[in-house]
Amino acid sequence: MKRTLTIVLLLTLWSSQAQGPLLRIEQVMTPREVQETGVATLSPKQRAALDRWLVAYTIRVLSAAGAVKDEPLGRPPARPSGSGCAPAIESTISGEFTGWEGETIFKLDNGQIWQQAEYAYTYSYSYRPDVTIYQTAVGCRLKVEDEDETILVKRIK
């Protein structure tokens, strides 16, 4: 039932793109948040681009949620052995962050060390950014503050 509802919602969001986004930023932000974040100052073209991004992001989130298998009640959800990222881990990268490439190591202030587990490349510089590591159907993903992309990681310490 959940999977059917997710598919219907995805199709509705996707098909509505042609007529204008069904989901608008004003629906997910309070008027105060719209003001404080500067969204209120965006041009109509920028606001439309933000609404399109919001729909695309929502579709990605719902797709990822739909990919998670339903587990029988009373049994904890299965996760890859040694993943250690459920519940989500919030910490800060120790020192400089310059993106990832191949087998990047991420040292966190909480003492954990994680390594990139899929090939991808992105460059971005920040000093001591906050990170969230969370469970997905395929393993743990690392989300760095102010980065759009996420990366599959494995815990090495």
Q: What is the pLDDT of residues 28-52, one digit of tens each?
A: 788 888 899 998 999 999 888 888 8
Global pTM reads 0.49
- What is the mean pLDDT of the segment spanning 115-130? 93
Contacts for 52-55 with beta carbons within 8 Å, 24 or more apart? Answer: 52/17, 52/21, 54/21, 54/23, 54/24, 54/25, 54/28, 55/13, 55/14, 55/16, 55/17, 55/21, 55/22, 55/23
Q: Hey, where are the domains in the chain?
A: 2-67, 89-155
125 and 97 in contact (C-beta within 8 Å)? yes
| pLDDT of 78 | 44
| pLDDT of 93 | 97
Which of 24-28, 57-61, 73-77, 150-154 reaches the highest mean pLDDT?
150-154
d(CA 66, CA 58): 12
